[in-house]
Amino acid sequence: MAGQVSPFNLRHIVSAIIGWRQEPVIGAFVLGIMVAGCGYQMEKPRLPGGARNLSVAVIHNRTFTGEVDVRLRRELRRLLYRDAGIHVTPHEQSQLSLEISIRKLTIIRRTSLQNTSVTSLAYRLSGKISLIDTDTGELLIDEHPIATTTRLVFSQAQLETPAIRDEVLSDALKVFSQLIVDRLLLSF
């Protein structure tokens, strides 16, 4: 009887499935093979117009805090290099050029009433991004606002030090960079 499953074959199938539950690596492998076999593919993030090359051309630091632009560029490169579909290139070789203006950096301190120590420290970072097609000169994203607030709360009041301020600024730049990357890859 072709097309019917004999009880002997059914027992092997059931024992194989039970075995996969005991061996999660094998189960995950088989599931991956089945998903790949049906033609399903994870959609890769993509830049506008199917571009693969991007340059981070200009980062204007309009704050009074030095090297925010350098640190933001480093964080952006770290995020973009993780994506195999996007190549960060020099401006002359890129299809798209990203321009960033960091407009405002505000420090918000909550202090203890007993002394001058801080109980929380927050950085509010805001700016705008523009994305330009280097071949046509077309403005694909025109001064899109990006903003984030990152807060560090202490269980006990702490003396505010440069290391603590730097930690909160690093967190703010990570979130700000992720927001930029998310906007670049949004709905294209």
Do 127 and 149 belong to one domain?
yes
> In terms of residue numbers, what domain contains 132?
48-184
Return the half-sphere exposure (C-beta side, CA atoms, 13 A cut-off) of residue 13. Answer: 6
Region of poorest pLDDT, from 39-48, 56-65, 85-94, 176-185: 39-48
Same domain, 31 and 117: no
Q: Which has the closest alpha carbon to 184: 130, 147, 103?
A: 130
The predicted pLDDT at position 2 comes to 53
DSSP 8-state symbol, 93: G
Examine residue 143 and state whether it is found in any structural domain, yes or no. yes
Structurally, how many domains does the chain consist of? Answer: 2
Q: Is residue 2 part of a domain?
A: no
- Cα end-to-end distance, the chain, whole Å: 53
| pLDDT, tens digit, 9 for 90 and up, residues 60-100 | 999 988 899 999 999 999 998 887 678 889 988 999 999 99
Cα 32 from Cα 16, distance rounded (Å) = 16
One domain, residues 116 and 73: yes
In a domain, 167, yes or no: yes
